[in-house]
Chain A
Amino acid sequence: MNSKMIGVDVGGTFTDVFILDEANGTAEVAKVPTTRPDQSGGFLNGIQQRVSDLSQIAVVVHGTTAGTNALLERKGAKIGVICTQGLRDVLEMRRRDRPRTWGLRGNFDPVVARSQRLEVPERTLADGTIYTAVDLGAVKQAAEKLRDAGCLAIAILFANSYANPKNEIAALEVIREIWPNEHVSASHEILPEIREFERFSTTALNAYLQPEVSGYLGRLEKALKSGGFDGEFMVVQSNGGVMAVDTASKHPVRTALSGPAAGVIAAGYIASSAGFDNIITGDMGGTSFDVSLIANGQSMLSAQTSIDFGMVVRTPMIEITTIGAGGGSIAWVDKGGLLNIGPESAGSDPGPVAYGLGNDRPTVTDANVVLGRIDPDNPIGGKLERLDVEAAKRAIDTHVGEALGLDTLAAAEAILRVANSRMAGAIRLVSIERGFDPKRFAFMPFGGGGALHAGAMLDEVGIARAIVPRYPGVTSAMGCVIADMRQDFVQTLNSLVDHIDLKALKAFMQSHRDQGMALLDAARTQFEDRLVTFEFDMAYIGQTHTVSVPIEVAFDQNGYFVPPDHDTINAAFDAAYTQAFGRLLKNGVRRILNLRSAVTGKRPKFDLETLAPTNSDPVSPKATRPVHFAGQWEETAIYERLSLPIGTVIDGPVILEQPDTTVLIEPGLQGRVDRFGNTIIERIGDVK
């Protein structure tokens, strides 16, 4: 019987697999090295380590960095663009920005060379009027030229196609007849939203990824099937929802932040199960610290992101703020005598000085090693035999201690203090600056390194507690199993509320709903519930920043929408605007820019208690070692974290170790194992 649900997260170093057996309520994890360049090797290897008969699997959900990496490394396909006469350079001109404020250095090559961006006579105006009908002969000629030049995918980018897609549709039909594969997309299909650069960029990057990502997903699916797999294969999107593999092949650009999004989804679920609906997640990797905020159980979504300078992707994605302070970030003292952390990083290769792989400048991890917080004899990941503590000390002396007149330990503590203050800054940024009080939030570290810094976040930001999930190293893989199925839609309306055509609005809403439901129907997964939500991007006329205005929609007895009327829209805007800015504008004229719709299929959730510790006997420390805190060494107990029974309470200083994570509980803090096996860290005085 096929009762297994599998989440697979392919990261830069490791491929994590999370296997849930719904029949007997058990879960297990596997961690295997990521294979490169083709990640499908590690993917299958990871699954097969735990499941020999693939026909037992009901669902495989994949969090992938294939798309992100192809964009960052510029390894997408050779593609062509057909665009409106006069606009071939929009992709290269961007929004007239620059890579960095200061220095005036750096330039930009778009993913499509200028010679593969061809113009055709056609023009639609902003109100949807066709000013010049599309010259289909020219379209055909251009497409043939691009095909003969070896382009593997093609993007049609016409001005104002969000307002009327007629010219793009006509061009699509002509090109499909002669194009040798499926990879033909028009900008109104990918993003029917005003702003040509953002729409063109998203569409072109989608085309750039299509051959690569659809090929990769196709190979995976084929390999799974040849092993007897007959279930549903899905992919996590940047918005934190999953989509079917054929949708992902058509819209690979939606996977740009697939892996990190899955992590945030899992973090949210773990926290709310544990009783905390407000959390700030912190994923500390080799080069960066990624922070995301979940309020009342809801992740924040942002409308777009830049994968790199000029590489703009506009699809809804879980908002993740990244700062360059990871374990591999380099500590250095500038000419003015100020200690800095990053942005330069030694990453995971060559990595920290203690790895002995060629880097000689001290990193955050080196400071943790020197202070005894990381066990030099059992490095995480299993690649290395042991860590070179002496080399780490020397590097800290040379590059930090001498410049600041500090001894090795004081210099190492200084590195951690500055790194912690930068991480705390990122937490303030996502909370305080957006009107959330961090004291009402719990901090959830995941990834390999975050749990070493959890206590510092309580101190620096005034957060009440940290929750370290039972398996912080496989959070993203677990998120794959938890995530709902979700499709987002957008349509630019650009109309004053008083002038909005309610019939046309209803048709857009109905079409979004129907498309979303059809995708849910096509999936072979069970849904506990289906949700359709709508919101408008609105502003007063003259304002450029819009506010999101959620709209409640009623249904008539036949199950059809009753579209909102003008008064409902106005009232909803006033409520949202008041919440955002405090006061309304007298006599302001309200405008709707976009309709945004989301169709969500709620997937059944598994009970996290299946992961809880089964051992109920008290556990003694497996060892002790000296760890340096606030200027002195303290002999610190080391526990095997996974064997600690539910209800265990331990006062710091203490270190909890598991194969891929080290949890540090500093003096003055207390750790407690909850009924799911999470470790809750609180100040001793605060514990109720």
Chain B
Amino acid sequence: MSEIDPITLSVLAGRMEQIADEMDATLFRAAFNPIIAEAHDASHGLYHAVNGDTLVQGKSGLPIFVGVMSFAVKAVIEKAAADGDLEDGDIYIFNDAHIGGTHLSDMRLVRPYFRDGVLFCYLASVGHWHDMGGAVPGNYNPAATDVFQEAFVLPPVKLARAGKFNQDIIDIMLRNTRLPQSARGDLNGQLSALDLGVKRMDELLDEYGAETVSAALVALGHRAERLMRSELEALPNGRWEAEDFLDNDGIEDTPLSIKVALEIQGDQMTLDFTGSAPQCAGPVNIALPTTVATAYVAIKHIFQNLPANAGVMRPIDVIVPKGSILSAEFPAPTGGYTETILRMIDVIFSAFSKAAPDRVVAHAYGTINALSIAGKRKDGKPWVMFSFYGGGHGGSPEGDGLNHGNAPISTATIPPMEILEAAYPIMFRQWALRPESAGPGKHRGGMGAIYEIEVLEENGAEAFLFGERGRYAPQGIAEGEEAALNVFSYQQDDGWHKPPLASKVRGIRLKQGQAVRLETPGGGGYGPTSERAPLAVARDVASGLLSAVNADETYGTAWREAQS
């Protein structure tokens, strides 16, 4: 392979990133369900022809997919090798999370890209479909004890063979979802994105030649690796540990440990998750591909200028013992994978802060709080309001954490309250910041939120919640302090109640005029409270986000100085 000049490399890097970005944009526009169209829960990229490694990925997709997509491609490469029938024009499709990572809602399409009859690379598309069957609409089943209770499982199969679609597979899939129209729309969008990727690759290779582009792909991998190694080399050598807990698995009320030992030696890093809880009954398990992808997400939050390229992971060893909650095996349920990977990111940040406290931020709120409220209207038509809710980000070396942010694994925005109120028979009594919810510190965490939702429908409704951080609060780092816990409560005839499993609950009955209330955690604090600027304390008190009593208790000297 010829050496490529650095300037052509810069130009090609930009061109290929733009191809992946354009594939993202194509699906966002065409997708039918809002989880893709609005929340951008999707991703596209180019992957290595032989080993499936990530070569280039779009910037606008969901962060967690940046690491996980290559596993989908690897699965297809294995399947194709076993069957020995890979052809130009093939498209594989599957949602099996134990093979491809994340959860069953994510539908993966993988398409080999051929140039002059030779396999050049793979193009892949992943998107979160609205419903894939299973026991609970939308597939967040907090009580699932195996994947079959979560959704229909599709292993890697050929949706198209040499350009000819297999309608049988489409028929099987559409028969297994509650929302066939939405599924069909999303599938069309993903196919369009892959078509566009093929067209753009053709143009790029026409312009630069296959050899130059191949050389660029190799060089980009080396460059990514070199970048990662040079970052690691600048850090102290040593071994640092951190541990945090999930409240429970939704089945049995036992805390589950997520534990990491982070070791840096020269230009290499090891993340060893030995000692984390074993595989559990409920849906907070994750499959190994998800674990590796999550390590990548945490690392990219620490080193933001790393590219989305597998070269980054070459100097990094991720160790997960067999039978762990982080290497769960089929058919263990994985629907609530978001909660577990958020905790993984938290412990990686905590461990890393001991090596280089100026490189990381404190824990974010740490739960997606998947809340659904559902019922039947007067005319008998069912409705389901399903959304994720926000919380505070951690304090950073530069300043306070962001109030009401989105989860570190996602860039999704929240639907407007007015859109939800127009679509469902509910009313938000409150949509506000949650005072006193931030972890104190030199730079406090961001504030969590309070959402109080009243049912307006005469027939009442039922509420389901899949959340976390009800028992173990987001932690501070560099001597910063922890934030408030996640609190869920619901109204009944005799007043307000809290569920026994803290942030996980199924089928709470609500009457018209009754409400649920979600108070989300803030972010952890950064640095000791003794170093907080008096003006910052005064501002929080003036804004009503911190009471004078708590200001005095938490920030004593600074608060007294602010008043004088």
Contact = CB atoms under 8 A, between A and B. Distances in A.
B18 A585 contact: no
Given A96-B413, A494-B422, 6 more contacts: A89-B404, A96-B414, A113-B542, A113-B543, A195-B419, A417-B7
A545 B35 CA distance: 12
A334 B228 CA distance: 12
Contact of B223 (A123, A197, A338): A338
Interface stretch (A101-109, A247-255, A556-564): A101-109
Given A102-B301, A104-B396, A414 B7 contact: yes
A332 to B, nearest CB: 11
B304 interface: yes
B304 A336 contact: no
Contacts of A106: 398-399, 402
Interface stretch (A367-375, A421-429, A649-657): A421-429
Contacts of A126: 418, 421-422
Interface string A331-347: 00011111110000000
Contact of A115 (B7, B223, B432, B544): B544
A104 B408 contact: yes
B357 interface: no
Given A96-B405, A196-B416, A418 B10 contact: yes
A440 to B, nearest CB: 16
B537 interface: no
A87 interface: yes
A195 B182 contact: no
A103 B304 contact: yes
Q: Which 4 pairs from chain A and chain B are nearest by CB?
A: A336-B223, A114-B543, A96-B390, A86-B430
Contacts of A75: none
A125 interface: yes
B140 interface: no
Nearest to A195: B416
A316 B185 CA distance: 29
Given A86-B430, A93-B449, A335-B230, A105 B396 contact: yes
Contacts of A92: 403-404, 433
A94 interface: yes
From B34, B182, B361, B419, residue with most partner A Cβ within 10 Å: B419
A162 to B, nearest CB: 8
B431 A93 contact: yes
Chain A interface secondary structure, helix, strand, loop or mixed? loop
Interface in A187-212: 194-198
Contact of B63 (A90, A102, A404, A428): A102
Contacts of A102: 63, 300-301, 304
Interface string B222-240: 0110110011000000000
Contacts of A127: 422
B431 A90 contact: yes
A543 B186 CA distance: 11
Given A92-B403, A115-B544, A334 B305 contact: yes
B145 interface: no
B519 to A, nearest CB: 13
A166 B114 CA distance: 63
Nearest to A160: B418
A335 B227 contact: yes
A544 B433 CA distance: 27
A433 B22 contact: yes
B11 A421 contact: yes
Contacts of B404: 89, 92-94, 96
From B37, B231, B403, residue with most partner A Cβ within 10 Å: B403
A98 B34 CA distance: 19
A581 interface: yes
17 contacts: A86-B430, A87-B428, A90-B417, A95-B413, A96-B414, A101-B411, A102-B300, A104-B301, A105-B361, A107-B393, A127-B422, A194-B419, A336-B227, A338-B9, A418-B11, A543-B185, A581-B30
Contacts of A336: 223-224, 226-227, 230, 307
A590 interface: no
A251 B219 CA distance: 53
A103 B403 CA distance: 15
B429 interface: yes
Interface in B241-283: none
A134 interface: no
A93 B305 CA distance: 27
From A90, A98, A542, residue with most partner B Cβ within 10 Å: A98
B59 interface: yes
B413 A97 contact: yes
Chain B interface secondary structure, helix, strand, loop or mixed? mixed
A333 to B, nearest CB: 8
A31 interface: no
Nearest to B25: A433
B394 to A, nearest CB: 7
B501 interface: no
B18 A425 contact: yes
A320 B6 CA distance: 31
Contacts of A99: 402
A125 B421 contact: yes
Contacts of A105: 361, 396, 398-399
A115 B398 contact: no
B545 interface: yes
A544 B431 contact: no
B158 to A, nearest CB: 24
Interface in A115-151: 115, 123, 125-127, 131
B209 interface: no
Contact of A159 (B11, B401, B402, B417): B417
Contacts of A87: 417, 428, 430-432
Interface string B134-165: 00000000000000000000000000000000
A103 B401 CA distance: 11
B4 to A, nearest CB: 11
A86 B452 contact: yes
B333 interface: no
Interface string B408-440: 100111101111011000011111110000000
Contacts of A107: 393, 399-403, 446
A404 B6 contact: yes
B442 to A, nearest CB: 14
Contact of B414 (A95, A422, A428): A95
Contacts of B30: 581
A86 B428 contact: yes
Contacts of B86: none
Nearest to A119: B432
Contacts of B331: none
Contacts of A340: 10
Contacts of A465: none
Contact of A196 (B307, B361, B417, B430): B417
A587 B181 CA distance: 10
A602 interface: no
B14 interface: yes
Contact of B6 (A89, A337, A429): A337
Interface string B31-53: 01110011000000000000000
Contact of B405 (A98, A197, A404, A544): A98
A542 B29 contact: no
A361 interface: no
A315 to B, nearest CB: 17
Contacts of B403: 92-93, 107-108
Interface in B348-401: 361, 364, 390, 393-394, 396, 398-401
A88 interface: yes
Nearest to B11: A421
B218 interface: no
B456 interface: yes
B327 interface: no
Interface string A515-545: 0000000000000000000000000001111
A432 B32 CA distance: 23
B13 interface: yes
A421 B208 CA distance: 14
